Amino acid sequence: MQNLLSPMEWQAVLLSIKVAFWATLTMTPLALLTAYALVRWEFPGKSILNGLAHLPLILPPVVTGYMLLLLFGTQGLVGGWLQDIGIVLAFRWTGAALAAGVMAFPLMVRALRLSLEAIDIRLEQAAATLGASPVWIFVTVTLPLMIPGVLTGTILAFAKALGEFGATITFAANIPGQTQTIPSAIYALLQVPGQEAVAARLVVISVCLALTALFLSEALARRARKRLEGI
Amino acid sequence: MLDVRARHRFADFELDASFATSGGITVLFGASGSGKSTIANLVAGLLRPQEGRVVLGGRVLCDRQNNIWVPPHRRRIGYVFQDARLLPHLTVRKNLTYGRWFSKAPNDPKEFAHVVDLVGLNSLLERRPAHLSGGEKQRVAIGRALLCEPELIIADEPLAALDQARKAEILPYFERLRDAIDTPMLYVSHSSSEVSRLASTVVALSEGRVLQQGHPASVFGNPAVLPMGPRGAGSVLEVVVSKQHSDGLTELSAGGQRLFVPHTPQAVGARVSVRIAAHDVILARKLPEEISALNILPGLVTQIHMGEGPGAMVAIESPAGRFLARVTQRSVHRLDLVPGAKCFAIIKSVAIAPRDIH
């Protein structure tokens, strides 16, 4: 493997996985909360939340990246405050993770929403009559029954985060070893004549990573569904 | 024990009911849409009534006027749903112990074994709900409700989703429950045979209102209480098995009157109740002679309720008890049946099926 890829390509692959992993991990609880609020709660501004959650899906990625820069850049609204407590996101790998996470967020919310809508509320009522408080109902009934949806959602988000380009390059730039993920490395290689072969290797790797994630999620979700149906 | 007073308006239905019970099995009886399940849900806390009060054993569970609301998980009411509602991702054992975990009751293996025995689930503990039959699921639901040590058990038409054979399998568990455990029960049903087997009190409902509440015999003896319509009407007589005849008949004694029914397995001396469908009773003004029917009971007409169609419901008071006869209005006029009139009620033995006798 080592001599198959140059150090720069190797770095890009590892960084991509790291970025996608953290993007998915941090966005999952947030997406869960958003999906739950959208399906189960009635509150003013629900359609605004729904719109916001879907915004990254419909905006040009560059615009999302630019908005992240405005918000989380060192001069930004939140970024300035974060810098005071020692957290800098822009032009760091953490920023790439944030951008990838934001872009993957709508996909995850959609998957979680579907699985939450499929849950029979009457089962939760039954749990309530057995003494389970709303929080315990969520932990012992709702969440376990959502597992197939959670798996689908996280893997989908992981694959999306792995391939995110527009928002990442806008917000985190394309610094080899720091913020250069597979897609930005491919983009950089294609700018230089004669590097097509190297780019092709990265393309193959990214296809393999995405497919592996997809098959894994399918297999896990199938297993979880079987467990739920007790087969 | 349980005191309910509630008013709730839905788009197409209004519930306005109040009743009080005193332990044993109280059956909420009525046609579908009469508000039985709505009442069950508001006692359990799954529905918040717009107005009203629910008190269970001195504990106020809901009082809209004083803004008291105990959420369902703090009510200690075991609920057996019509569709069982077992948690599909848990084994039978974990379904059974699910409630115990929250009640913080000490995990008493003896209690668990006792309940598992009572509902006959010993061999199924490690299965998942998807691998259980309808009857088995319902038994798990009963056991699960019992194990959270409830102050009240609600059973909402627990047999309605089952076929005849499964019904016959589950009903005895409720009888055992009534006899073995002194937890009061609110049992929702639209089947008068379930009522006559289980109920210590009946609350008859129609269109969101309580028609009558009381002992099953007195509720079913009222010709105006027909929550199931005239076809389902019937009355219940409390009798004693007095003799088993060699020709396959069982002789019952009801207030000094003899009643012959097809063979029933209960021992001589056992107290049983017999359900007599109103449309199986014939009325005569004179004692009929040379007639095939074996049961002729003398009685007095106490009440007559003219239906909207050609039918009438006549309540008869006899030494054997009160019962109902469904006849035509034409017969009522022809026989000059008025309250106080003497008559004879004729009941064919074969019209009484074994499942009418408990």
Query: Tens of pLDDT along B65-93?
Result: 999 999 999 999 999 999 989 999 999 99
> Average pLDDT for residues A148-176, to the nearest whole number?
89
How far, in Å, are A35, A115, A125, A229, B215 from residue A111 at the CA level?
Answer: 9, 6, 24, 20, 55
Quick check: A126 and B81 CB within 8 A? yes
The pLDDT value given to residue B105: 67
Spell out which residues of chain B touch residue A133, defining contact as CB-CB under 8 Å.
Answer: 71, 73, 102
Q: How far B112 CA lies from chain A's nearest CA (Å)?
A: 15
DSSP character string of A132-201? --HHHHIIIIIHHHHHHHHHHHHHHHHHHHHH--HHHHHHH---TTTT--HHHHHHHHHHSTT-HHHHHH
Could you tell me if B285 and B272 are in contact, meaning their C-beta atoms sit under 8 angstroms apart?
no
Instruction: Identify which of B72, B89, B128 has the shortest CB distance to residue A128.
Output: B72
Domain span holding position A221? 2-229
Residue B357 has which token pair? 């006798």
Contacts of B142 (CB under 8 A, 6+ apart): B80, B119, B155, B158, B173, B174, B177
Helix (H) or strand (E) holding B260: strand B257-262
State which residue of chain B sits closest to A144, comparing Cα positions.
Answer: B89
Quick check: A125 and B85 CB within 8 A? yes
Q: Considering its fold, how many domains does chain A have in total?
A: 1
Quick check: A132 and B77 CB within 8 A? no
Residue B35 has which token pair? 């508000």
Could you tell me if A35 and A112 are in contact, meaning their C-beta atoms sit under 8 angstroms apart?
yes
Q: List, as own/partner pairs, every contact residues A200-209 make where C-beta atoms lie below 8 angstroms and the sequence separation is at least 24, other chains included.
A: A201/A4, A201/A5, A201/A9, A202/A9, A202/A12, A202/A13, A205/A13, A206/A16, A206/A162, A206/A163, A206/A182, A209/A16, A209/A17, A209/A159, A209/A162, A209/A182
The pLDDT value given to residue B229: 60
The residue length of chain B stands at 358
Residue A158 has which token pair? 């992981």
Quick check: A131 and B130 CB within 8 A? no
The pLDDT value given to residue A130: 93
Residue B69 has which token pair? 């609301």
The pLDDT value given to residue A230: 59
> Average pLDDT for residues A106-128, to the nearest whole number?
93
pLDDT in tens, chain B (358 residues): 899 999 999 988 999 999 999 888 999 998 888 889 999 999 999 999 999 999 998 899 999 999 999 999 999 999 999 998 999 999 999 999 998 888 776 777 888 898 898 888 999 999 999 889 888 999 999 999 988 889 999 999 998 888 877 887 888 888 888 887 888 999 998 877 788 778 888 998 888 899 888 887 777 767 666 655 656 677 778 888 999 999 989 999 988 889 999 988 888 888 888 888 888 899 999 998 889 999 999 999 988 888 777 888 888 888 888 888 889 999 999 999 999 999 999 999 888 887 778 7
CB contacts < 8 A, A to B, total 74
Q: Is the pTM here over 0.80, yes or no?
A: no
State which residue of chain B sits closest to A134, comparing Cα positions.
Answer: B73
CATH of the domain at A28: 1.10.3720.10
Confidence grade of residue A21 (pLDDT, cut at 50, 70, 90): very high
Contacts of A61 (CB under 8 A, 6+ apart): A103, A164, A165, A166, A167, A170
Residue B73 in contact with partner chain A when CB distance is under 8 A? yes
The pLDDT value given to residue B55: 94
Helix (H) or strand (E) holding B90: none
Nearest CA to A161 among A9, A15, A19, A13? A19
Quick check: B73 and A145 CB within 8 A? no
- Whole-angstrom Cα Rg for chain A: 20
Residues of A with a Cβ under 8 Å from any B Cβ are 120, 122-123, 125-134, 136, 140-141, 144-145, 227-231
Could you tell me if B304 and B224 are in contact, meaning their C-beta atoms sit under 8 angstroms apart?
no
Nearest CA to A13 among A195, A190, A176? A176
* Amino acid code (one letter) for B275: R
Spell out which residues of chain A touch residue B74, defining contact as CB-CB under 8 Å.
Answer: 131
Residue B81 in contact with partner chain A when CB distance is under 8 A? yes
φ/ψ bin of B23: left (φ > 0), alpha (ψ from -120 to 50), beta (otherwise): left
Instruction: Identify which of B76, B89, B129 has the shortest CB distance to residue A144.
Output: B89
Instruction: Identify which of A122, A140, A230 has the shortest CB distance to residue B129.
Output: A230
The pLDDT value given to residue A99: 93
The order of strands in the sheet holding B152-156 is B77-80, B152-156, B185-189, B25-29, B201-206, B209-214
Instruction: Identify which of A131, A141, A231 has the shortest CB distance to residue B130.
Output: A231
